[in-house]
Amino acid sequence: MKTLTLLAHELRSGTTSSRRLVEECLARIADPAGEGSRVFLKVHAQGALAAADYHDQLRRLGAQTSQWAGIPLSVKDLFDMAGDVTTAGSKVLADDPVASTDALAVARLRTAGFIPIGRTNMTELAFSGLGLNPHYGTPRNPFERPLGRIPGGSSSGAAVSITDQMAYAALGTDTGGSCRIPAALCGIVGFKPTARRVPLDGTFPLSQTLDSIGPLAASVACCATLDAILAAQPTDGLLPAELRGVRFAVPRSYVLDGLDPHVARNFERALSSLAQAQAQITELSLSELTELPRINRKGGFSAAETCAQHRDRLRTHAAEFDPRIAARILRGEEQSAADYIDLIQARGRLQQRVAAQLISFDAVLMPTTPVIAPSLAELEADEEYARVNLLMLRNPAIANFLDRCAISLPCHEPGTAPVGLMVMGAHDSDRRLLSLAAAIEPLVSPSLSGQ
User: Cβ(373)–Cβ(149) under 8 Å?
Assistant: yes
For residues 332 and 329, what is the distance between their CA atoms, to the nearest angstrom? 6
Cα(153)–Cα(420) distance, integer angstroms: 14
DSSP E strands, 204-302: 213-217, 247-251, 280-284
Q: Confirm if 143 and 161 have CB atoms less than 8 A apart.
A: no
Q: Is 253 a catalytic residue?
A: no
Please state, in angstroms and rounded to a whole number, the distance separating the CA atoms of residues 126 and 111: 26
Provide the 10 A C-beta neighbour count for residue 254.
19
Active site residue 154: yes
End-to-end CA distance of the chain: 10
The verdict on whether omega for the bond into residue 360 sits within 30 degrees of 0, i.e. cis, is no
Specify the DSSP class assigned to residue 145. Answer: G
Residue tagged active-site, from 17, 178, 273, 302? 178
Asked whether 265 and 256 are in contact (CB, 8 A), the reply is: no
Secondary element (H or E) of residue 33: none
Please give the distance of CA 209 from its chain centroid, rounded to a whole number.
Answer: 17
If we measure between CA atoms, which residue out of 134, 136, 174 comes closest to residue 155?
Answer: 174
Q: Is 357 exposed, middle or buried (0-12, 13-18, 19+ CB in 10 A)?
A: middle
Question: Is 445:407 a contact under the CB 8 Å cutoff?
Answer: no
- Candidates 302, 273, 292, 110; CA nearest to 207 is 302
Catalytic residue (one of 17, 76, 90, 128)? 76
Q: Judge contact between 391 and 260, C-beta under 8 A.
A: no
Q: Measured between alpha carbons, how far is 102 from 176 in angstroms, rounded to an integer? A: 24
76: annotated active-site residue: yes
- Catalytic residue (one of 17, 128, 154, 207): 154
CA distance 83 to 322: 26
Which positions are annotated as active-site residues? 76, 154, 178
